[in-house]
Amino acid sequence: MYSIVETEKLNKLIPYEFLKYVMDQMSLAEVINEELIEALLPWSENISAYVKNPSET
C-alpha cells in the first residue's frame, strides 16, 4: 500500500481521491480486464482531473 501511495504522489495525485476513484471505477465495470487496469494506473492519461493535485500541476 505504501508504494501505491508514493507512486500516486510522484504522479501528482491526491492519494485518497485516487484510491476512491479506482475503487468506484472498478465497482462500476462489468468486466475487469487488462484495458481497465491500465486505464486506472497512476500514470495513465485517462485519470480524472479531480484526483490530480492542483498545487502540483
pLDDT-derived band of residue 19, with 50, 70 and 90 as boundaries? Answer: very high
pLDDT single digits (tens) 23-53: 999 999 999 999 999 999 999 988 888 788 8
Res. 57: pLDDT tops 70: no
The pLDDT value given to residue 31: 95
CA distance readout (Å), 5 to 22, 33, 40, 51: 13, 22, 14, 13
CA distance readout (Å), 4 to 10, 31, 42, 52: 10, 23, 9, 15
Return d(Cα 8, Cα 28) in angstroms, integer. Answer: 22
